[in-house]
Amino acid sequence: MRANHQLLAAAVTAAILLPFAVSAQTPGAGAQTAAATGDARNGRQRYLDYKCYACHGYSGQNGPGTRLVPTRMNMAGFLAYVRNPRQMPPYAANAVPNRDLADIWTYLQTLPRSPAAKDIPLLNQILNEK
């Protein structure tokens, strides 16, 4: 890797972060209520195959991409966004079929949410340091 791409990556990072923005103060909030209609097991494999983890982490909530857990978009919104995103790279249907996107969205609903920072003693300790 040649780190002269750092600025570019930072731009990509910012680009990916913006559209999905979930309030940083409310981890665990915004629970997805839409019914999961895809195949979560296939969604997990597709999440890996399509390297969604590269920007969103294996957890769906780490890395330069926005947090996908909890997901704020319903499935229709998710599909529409991936086809024509404002910031992140676009994924055409020939590259990522709708069926796979639906499965990925369903898989995202199964990923565990994070504890709130206030419930993590180590982070509280750091916050309270001078």
Partner 1 sequence: MAKPKNGQVDRRGFLKGAAVGAAALVATPAAAQAPQQTTPPTSPQGPPRGAAGPSAAQLAADTGEPPPVSSRLVQNPGSDFMVDVLKTIGFEYVGANPGSSFEGLHESIVNYGQNKMPELLTCCHEESSVAMAHGFAKIEGRPMMAFLHGIIGLQHASMAIYNAYADRVPVYIIVGNWMDGAERANGVNSYHSAQDMAAMVRDYTKWDDEPVSLGHFAESAVRAYKIAMTPPMAPVVLVVDHDMQERPRTQTNLRIPRLTLTSPPAGEMGAVREVARLLVAAENPQINCGRAARTPNGIKLLVDLAEALQAPVNGGGDRVNFPSRHPLAGSAIGEPDMVLNLEVQGGPRSTGGRTKAVSITSGDLFLKSNIQDFQHMAEVDIALGADAEATLPSLIEEVNQLITADRRRLFQERGAKLAEAHRLARVQAIEAGAYGWDASPVSLARLAAELWAQIKDDDWSLVSWQGFISGWPGRLWNMHKHYHYIGGQGAGALGYGAPAAVGAALANRKHGRLSINIQTDGDLNYAPGVLWTAVHHQIPLLTIMHNNRAYHQEVMLVQRVASERSRGVDRIHIGTTLTEPNIDYAKMAQAYGMYGEGPINDPKELAPAITRGLERVRRGEPALIDVVTQPR
Cβ pair 93, 27 in contact under 8 A: no
Q: Can residue 3 be called a binding residue for partner 1 (CB under 8 A)?
A: yes
Task: Extract the tokens encoding 26.
Answer: 């409310």
Please list every residue from 66 through 95 that binds partner 1, using CB under 8 A: 67, 89-92, 94-95
Query: In which element (H, E) is residue 78 found?
Result: helix 75-83
Task: Extract the tokens encoding 45.
Answer: 């494999």
Site size toward partner 1 (CB under 8 A) is 47
Minimum CB–partner distance for residue 106 and partner 1 (Å): 19
Q: Which residues of 9-26 are buried (b: 16+ CB within 10 A; e: fewer)?
A: eeebbebbbeebebeeee
Q: Can residue 63 be called a binding residue for partner 1 (CB under 8 A)?
A: yes
Contacting positions for partner 1 (CB under 8 A): 1-6, 8-9, 12, 24-25, 27, 49-51, 53-55, 57-59, 61-64, 67, 89-92, 94-96, 112, 114-117, 120, 122-127, 129-130
